[in-house]
Amino acid sequence: MKWYSNLAVVVVMSACSSQANVSEIAQQKTQYIADECYENEGSSLNEAFKTFMSDRQEELGGLRKSLSDENYEQLDYALSHFVTYWDQLQTERNQACEQHATCEFIQFKTPELQSNNDFCDGTDFEYSVSRAKIINFYSDIERLELQKSP
């Protein structure tokens, strides 16, 4: 009977230490993702976009008296849609970054995978595409100007 109680104590202690190890690894992964994906959250491109959109909103406000209500609402809606789409692109970028960072973390923590240079190619590609979409959208939108027609 004593042998069973000792075995039970060993099993419980093993389970607790294993759970603590899993918790520690989960915290390390969370920190790794935060460092890789959110350290520069207020990126210069994001700030430039916000400034650009704020300037366009001011321009639209200045044109308010010379626009019909319908035309003003359409332009205001378009500007709002650009901001919404930008937020969507940022969310996609963040998700792709988190997947890529998770892949890198797994590769880093798994000795068998450390020499496999191709292991995270898929997530690296998705992350690169998400960043390219943001840059292309900003590049396209930066050329827009509100103008009065003669």
Q: What is the dihedral of CA 117, 118, 121, 122, to 10 degrees?
A: -150
Tens of pLDDT along 102-142?
Answer: 999 999 988 888 888 889 999 999 999 999 999 999 988 88
Q: Residue 34 — φ and ψ, nearest 5°?
A: -60, -45
Can you state the angle between helices 44-63 and 121-142, rounded to 10 degrees?
30
Residue that wins the pLDDT comparison between 147 and 47: 47
pTM, two decimals, is 0.75
Tens of pLDDT along 19-31?
Answer: 557 788 889 899 9
- If one counts every other C-beta atom within 10 angstroms of the C-beta of residue 9, the result is 10
